[in-house]
Amino acid sequence: MSFYHLKRPVLLGGLFILLITGILLSLYLNASPTEDLPVYNPTDLDPSLVDASLLDKNKNHTVADFKLVNQNGETITQEDYKDKIYIADFIFTRCLSICPVMTNNMAQLQEEFKTEQDIAFLSMSVTPEIDSVSVLRAYADRHGAIDRKWNITTGNKKHIYSLARKSYFAALDEGDGGLQDFIHTTNFVLIDKKKQIRGIYNGTDDTEIQRLIRDIRVLQN
């Protein structure tokens, strides 16, 4: 048998291996992320963000039940977020500093996941006595909020502040939601379908928004 006849199958076999390797590498690089995200409990977070009554809790933390009113005057509860991944933040409509950036970024996230039914958004006003339903309706319209996908809400101030400090850990643990109490935070909080915290992000930072998008994709997979 000639050297030519020996060499040709070897070359073909080598090319076949290279081709398969290239295909597998391409599939790997383009695959959806499969890593898991941590589940955050109070002991995993900055203690200054955690209510003193929860500082020792190291497992099974979930967002407490809530009752809020959205831009359409509808009552919003946990049932509206059942089987959904959602992002929560705390804003107020008269804010001229961080809130416009946060709300624009929330609108960007809404656009990214516009057609995906398992992704939703929840904004809570930290000045609910000022942010009435009509004010929130105008605010929602200005920012393109899609009804039933993005609820921009008002409600009882003490209830909202308790949610911020004892459920979402989005703000420093000080105050009780009284008249002089005021929360101002850049945090976006990622909640999974089991009402667990899976990430906290700076809602004014473009790099953090991209990280949040990636983490939502991780949860979806």
Residue 200: its H or E element: strand 197-202
The reply to whether 159 sits in an annotated binding site is no
The reply to whether 99 sits in an annotated binding site is yes
Distance of CA 130 to the CA centre of its chain: 26
Residue 176: its H or E element: none
The reply to whether 95 sits in an annotated binding site is yes
Q: Which two tokens stand for residue 207?
A: 């790099």
Cα 62 from Cα 60, distance rounded (Å): 6
Radius of gyration of the chain (CA): 23
Cα 196 from Cα 57, distance rounded (Å): 14
| CA neighbor of 87 nearest in space, from 70, 117, 110, 71 | 110
- Dihedral sign for Cα 193, 148, 150, 71, please: negative
Locate tokens 């009435």: which residue?
A: 132
Query: Do the bridges between strand 85-91 and strand 187-191 make them parallel or antiparallel, or are there none, so unpaired?
Result: antiparallel
Binding site for Cu cation: residue ranges?
A: 95, 99, 184
Binding site: residue ranges?
A: 95, 99, 184
